[in-house]
């Protein structure tokens, strides 16, 4: 069998074993693990090296809009390049729905920003900041059906905080669609109450 790439003499690490093997790759996929694979258009000798599965970084912020004074350090290009150098082959940035914008349009915009810029595979978590009836009743079920099955909601930050009723509405919609909800669990009113008391007492260090 002929391969696009053969990696020779690697110490292959799987979830359960470590063993010495050659790796045959075709069409961007591993198609063979065996000894004495020699028929490759390109051959890399990995003697003495480990061949590890690619990591998945499931909590990444890339090109996420925010207040004017805050700019994300990484673009899709720089963030995924850093991920690849660190051994991660998939990253999952958060797709932030800005208030007044639909969830689907936010996702379209994120895909457009990522298009042609990524060095790794990319998927998205959805941040819901404006859980309108159309977002929860129409857009979210369609997006979950399309494979976007994780949501994030915030209990703090002026432009992201949801009230208790909104949180319950999101969780009910997630239960109906089978989505997973992540909660940034800092109490907005508690933070403001304590911060103001500390400031009044001059405890700002």
Sequence-distant (6+) residues with CB within 8 A of 79 are 60, 62, 91, 93
Identify the domain containing residue 38 by its residue range: 3-51
Q: Is the per-residue pLDDT at 67 higher than 80?
A: no
Write the CATH number for 20. Answer: 2.30.40.10
Q: From CA 80, how far away is CA 121, in angstroms rounded?
A: 8
Using one digit for the tens of pLDDT, what is the confidence trace for 8-32?
999 999 889 999 999 999 998 999 9
The whole-number pLDDT of residue 114 equals 96
Q: Which of 109, 106, 88, 108 is nearest to 98 (CA)?
A: 106
Check whether residue 63 and residue 111 sit in a common domain: yes
What is the SS3 assignment for 63-129? CCCCCCCCCCCCCHHHHHHHHHHCCEEEEEEEEECCCCCCHHHHHHHHHHHHCCCCCCEECCEEECC
Query: Is position 173 within any domain?
Result: yes
Say what the pTM is: 0.79
Using one digit for the tens of pLDDT, what is the confidence trace for 159-201?
899 999 999 999 999 999 999 999 999 999 999 999 999 999 9
Check whether residue 84 and residue 146 sit in a common domain: yes
The whole-number pLDDT of residue 70 equals 82
Check whether residue 35 and residue 86 sit in a common domain: no
Check whether residue 85 and residue 98 sit in a common domain: yes
Write the CATH number for 70. Answer: 3.20.20.140
Q: How many domains does the chain have?
A: 2
Of the residues 35, 51, 67, the one at which a domain ends: 51
């Amino acid at each position: 069998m002929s391969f696009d790439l053969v990696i020779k003499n690697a110490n292959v690490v799987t979830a359960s074993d470590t063993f010495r093997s050659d790796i045959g790759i075709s069409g961007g996929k591993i198609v063979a693990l065996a000894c004495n694979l020699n028929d490759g258009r390109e051959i890399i000798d990995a003697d003495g090296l480990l061949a590890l599965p690619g990591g998945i970084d499931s909590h990444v912020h890339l090109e996420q809009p925010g207040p004017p004074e805050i700019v994300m350090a990484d673009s899709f290009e720089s963030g995924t390049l850093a991920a690849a150098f660190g051994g991660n082959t998939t990253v999952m940035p958060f797709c932030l729905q800005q208030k007044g914008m639909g969830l689907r349009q936010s996702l379209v915009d994120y895909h457009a920003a990522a298009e042609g810029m990524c060095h790794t595979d990319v998927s998205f978590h959805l941040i819901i900041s404006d859980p309108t009836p159309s977002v929860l009743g129409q857009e979210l079920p369609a997006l979950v059906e399309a494979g976007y099955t994780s949501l994030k909601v915030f209990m703090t930050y002026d432009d992201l905080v949801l009230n208790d009723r909104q949180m319950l509405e999101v969780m009910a919609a997630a239960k109906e669609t089978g989505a997973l909800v992540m909660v940034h669990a800092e109490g907005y009113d508690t933070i403001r109450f304590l911060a103001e008391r500390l400031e009044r007492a001059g405890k700002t260090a």
